[in-house]
Amino acid sequence: MEPDQTSPASTLAVESAQTQTGSALPGVTPEILKAYQTLEDTVRQRRPNDDLASLRRAFEFACECHADQRRDNGEPYVTHPIAAAQILADMQMDLVTVETALLHDTLEDTKATLEEIKRLFGEDVARCVNGVTKLSKLKLLNKEVREAESVRKMLLAMIEDIRVILVKLADRLHNLRTLDVLPRERQERIAAETVELYAPIAHRLGMGKLRAELEDLGFRYYDPEAYAEVVEAIESKRRINDQFLHEIRDTIERKLSHEGIPARVQARVKRPWSVYLKLRKQKIGIEHVYDLLGIRIITDSVKNCYAALGVIHNEWPPIPGRIKDFIAIPRPNLYQSLHTSVLGAGGVAFEVQIRTEEMHRLAEEGIAAHWKYKEGKKGPAEDDQRIAWLRQLVEWQREMRDSTDFMANLKVDLYPEEVYCFTPKGRVVVLPREATPIDFAYSIHTDVGHQCTGAKVNGRMVPLKHALRNGDIVEILTSTGSRPSRDWLTFVKTARARNKIRGVINADEREKAIELGQKLIEREARRLGVALSRVTRAQMESVAGDYGCSKIEDLYAALGWGKYSARQVLTKLAPEVFPEEPPPAAAQPAEKEDAQQGRAAKDAVVLVKGVDDLLTYRAKCCNPIRGEPIVGYITRGKGVAVHSKRCPNVVNLLYEAERRIEVEWARAAGESFHVRLVVHTDNRTGMLNQLTQILFDENINIRSVEAHADERSLDTAVVEMTIDVRDKKQMEKVVGAMRRVSGVRDIERVY
């Protein structure tokens, strides 16, 4: 970064390498202090309300860290972070960004630690410095790799804070400005990385100015011969056309002011890198590039943009097919402008770009502009910016061929309290953190929620309780007639979803309870030999009244919910049958409609205490295994769900106490139960072998086993397995044996 000659810093008398705090800094020259002073002045000017004490501390810390380091050009190393910080200060970035730039190389090259930076400069700066360090460690040597969109994705995926990429871009820009002294080989590598990776990222983020600088500086070293040729061609053409451009500019200014359109008019020459790309892509000679010369009109409103376009077309005939309205349809990176190419005097074509000041600013600064103006604003305007930024990302990924996991991996976490997801059509849905596809479905439409049967996130099926992440594209699968499940209540995060589900379930369950109640009483009547057909409606109503129910349905519902037993009710309906002994139930063959229950009872591994023909099934949520304490709940029409007493759903009292029913394990048969275990271990070879050996020794069937390194710390591994066990005792034996393996840290049973 060139020192700013007009800066007030130049008037500052720098007598010695002493800071304002009076502490002498090792190796700090008057030039360094002056550069810092310029930086501080820039920040103060642009952000007068910020407290600059921490900026100075960051400077001093960087000086200490880099004290004995020099750059390849012989300058003290600290000049580099100061220059990078200056680039960002000139872009009006916030203090966190500027301080990060000052500290960006301290973690990698010096003795400074992340803890220290966190303590001295806070969480935000520490996170950003860490992010930049991670990026710098990436070595992308191969051209194909650098050019792959997936690398850009990965790179962005590594970033938790968009300021990280801004600092990285500034770092890269300053490195390019001082690339001269490096050996040819390193120049080539840095230049290639810049034009193939960093410039496209700047472009994606809409930062036109930074991108242009990166490209043109990079081009110089990327292909020096082509660079020289293109620059020479542009220059000669510019010299020939200087007079021409001047006249055009004057004409436009005159015409516009005559029409009362306020405007700045710039004559511009296409940048060497874009010319180079065009030549390469279209395989044409430079004489055929007709937007080499251009005019840019910057006016005050969209209306005047179109008015100016009219003025231009009135003066010079447009070249058909060259009018582009990026105002109505912005480019993916939110770039807006009107473009047209017209034929000037003597048949010389030139391009005209027309835009408002606001569009111009966005074209030049991109995401940095969003960031700059984000601070201190509350309310809808702020939201608009977030949405615009996200929409931009959506467009971006849509452009790409292989886009599915890009959004999934994107971790730009600017708004920790919310999660932003998208419909497949790109509509933004804002939900609270940890929201699930069910929340998403209900926020789209109540019926979508009710009929939700599954969800795909970024093209992949996920469980309905999957926590959505920023950028997820969520597709809800529905099926007509499908109903919400009570289990959903255990994981939904929005009040809207919760209320809607409750509403349906209450109505649904009442209906099912009525049905079940009716069945229970009919079955009991058969068992006891009571002919219900002879019971009149009036009799029925009267008995319902005895139980405090105003309608017969209410009594059935109460029966279904297990409030009263069918036998109790029957004693009232047909007292004459009692107290005679009921016929033995076992002799009763299962009737047709009860075939399922009959079969279930025969094979059942769980028995309902005192009742032997109720369908039971082990609840999927906890999948209890033989020997575990269990409890049953009467479900709507599906029989009795058997849960582990420790099932989270039971513990959290998600089922009505009235429907609880005592159950016990039936006599042991040869069946087995599958159990899912997650073992956290040291990441060392042979671990998996030792674990599976234990299972072999116990003669346990392994359904699946999968091991991978823990994302959070690489010295830890996670082994997930699904195994078949005979009972609780056997499971405990195996888990105990695994725990004794050295290096096993923890074992969880997951449901």
Residue closer to Mn ion by CB (options 167, 725) is: 167
Q: Residue 181 CB, nearest distance to Mn ion (Å)?
A: 15
Residue in the block written with tokens 């091991």: 707
Which CB atom, from 78 or from 675, has the smaller least distance to Mn ion? 78
CB of 14 to Mn ion, least distance (A): 25
Q: Going by C-beta distance under 8 Å and a sequence separation of 6 or more, which residues neighbour residue 556?
A: 513, 514, 515, 517, 518, 521
d(CA 56, CA 524): 85
State the nearest-atom distance from the C-beta of 26 to Mn ion, in Å: 20
Nearer to Mn ion, 105 or 193 (CB): 105
- Considering the complex, what minimum distance in angstroms separates the CB of residue 191 from Mn ion? 16
Per the residue annotation, which of 68, 72, 109, 710 is the catalytic one? 109
CB nearer Mn ion, residue 159 or residue 354: 159
Q: The tokens of 203 are what?
A: 């472009």
CB closer to Mn ion, 69 vs 446: 69
Q: How far apart are CB 9 and Mn ion at their closest, in Å?
A: 23
User: Which CB, 42 or 79, lies closer to Mn ion?
Assistant: 79
Name the minimum Å distance from CB 171 to Mn ion. Answer: 4
- The 3-state DSSP class for residue 440 equals helix
The C-alpha atoms of residue 533 and residue 729 are separated, in whole angstroms, by 51
| DSSP letter for each residue of 672-693 | -EEEEEEEEEE--TTHHHHHHH
Distances (CA, A) of 676 to 289, 603, 641, 704, 708: 65, 24, 20, 9, 16
Give the N- to C-terminal CA distance of the chain in Å, as an integer.
58
For 68, the 3-state DSSP assignment is: coil
Active-site residue (options: 4, 68, 99, 108): 108
> Residue type for 363, please?
A
Closest residue to Mn ion, Cβ-based? 171
Comparing CB distances to Mn ion, the nearer of 171 and 291 is 171
How far apart (Å, rounded) are the C-alpha atoms in residues 336 and 328?
8
Encode 169-210 in three state secondary structure.
Answer: HHHHHHHHHCCCCCCHHHHHHHHHHHHHHHHHHHHHCCCHHH
Query: Distance between CA atoms of 642 and 662, rounded to whole angstroms?
Result: 9
Stretch that binds Mn ion, among 98-106, 414-422, 557-565, 710-718 (CB under 5 A): 98-106
Tokens of 735: 């888990």
**With respect to Mn ion, which residue has the nearer C-beta, 59 or 665?**
59
The piece of 167-175, 337-345, 354-362, 743-751 that touches Mn ion (CB under 5 A) is 167-175
- Residue (1 or 292) nearer to Mn ion, CB: 1
Based on the shown chain and the rule CB under 5 A, indicate whether residue 196 belongs to the binding site for Mn ion.
no
Residue 481 class from Cβ within 10 Å (0-12 exposed, 13-18 middle, 19+ buried)?
exposed
Nearest alpha-carbon partner for 352 in 316, 328, 327: 316
CB of 71 to Mn ion, least distance (A): 10
Q: Single out the segment in contact with Mn ion by CB under 5 A; choices: 54-62, 149-157, 164-172, 338-346.
A: 164-172
Stretch that binds Mn ion, among 53-61, 105-113, 231-239, 731-739 (CB under 5 A): 105-113
Number of chain residues interacting with Mn ion (CB under 5 A):
2
Check if the beta carbon of residue 267 is closer than 8 Å to that of residue 249. yes
CA distance 278 to 281: 5
Residue 552 in contact with residue 521, Cβ under 8 Å?
Answer: no
Segment lying near Mn ion (by CB under 5 A), choices 13-21, 171-179, 664-672, 714-722: 171-179
Kindly write down the DSSP assignment for every residue of 270-333, as one continuous string: --HHHHHHHHHHHT--GGG-TTSEEEEEEES-HHHHHHHHHHHHHHSPBPTT--EETTTS--TT
105 belongs to the binding site for Mn ion (CB under 5 A): yes
* Least distance (Å) between residue 80 CB and Mn ion: 6
Stretch that binds Mn ion, among 168-176, 493-501, 513-521, 711-719 (CB under 5 A): 168-176
Helix axes 95-103, 79-90, angle to 10 degrees: 160
Name 246's Cβ contacts closer than 8 Å, sequence gap at least 6.
267
Catalytic annotation present for 727: no
Q: How far is the CB of 327 from Mn ion (least distance, A)?
A: 38
Beta bridge partners of residue 266, listed in sequence order: 296
Contact between 258 and 320 under an 8 Å Cβ cutoff? The reply is: no
Please state the closest distance from residue 371 (CB atom) to Mn ion, in A.
20
Cβ count near 249 (within 10 Å): 15
Asked if residues 412 and 160 have their Cβ atoms less than 8 Å apart, the reply is yes
- Min. distance of Cβ 172 from Mn ion in angstroms? 8
Whole-angstrom distance, CA of residue 167 vs CA of residue 12? 28
Question: What Cα–Cα distance (Å) separates residue 188 from each residue in 191, 217, 230?
Answer: 5, 12, 19
- Residue 106 or 597: which CB sits closer to Mn ion? 106
* Residue type for position 23: S
CB count within 10 Å of CB 131 equals: 22
Q: Does 171 bind Mn ion (CB under 5 A)?
A: yes
CB under 5 A: which stretch of 25-33, 152-160, 170-178, 196-204 binds Mn ion? Answer: 170-178
* DSSP code of residue 10: G
Q: CA nearest 52: which of 16, 102, 18?
A: 102
Closest CB to Mn ion among 50 and 90?
A: 90
Give the nearest distance from C-beta 109 to Mn ion in angstroms: 9
Stretch that binds Mn ion, among 100-108, 139-147, 560-568, 709-717 (CB under 5 A): 100-108
- For residue 40, give the amino acid letter: E
Distance (Å, whole) CA 643 – CA 630? 6
Contact stretch for Mn ion (CB under 5 A) within 103-111, 188-196, 215-223, 296-304 = 103-111
Query: Which residue's CB is nearer to Mn ion, number 91 or number 607?
Result: 91
Q: CB nearer to Mn ion: give 78 or 267.
A: 78
Quick one: how far is CA 160 from the chain centroid? 10
Tell the smallest beta-carbon distance from residue 92 to Mn ion (Å).
21
338 sits in which H/E element: strand 338-343
Instruction: Please report which helix (H) or strand (E) contains residue 114, including its range.
Output: helix 114-137
Residue 180 known to be catalytic:
no
Kindly list the catalytic residues: 108-109
Q: Which residues bind Mn ion (CB under 5 A)?
A: 105, 171
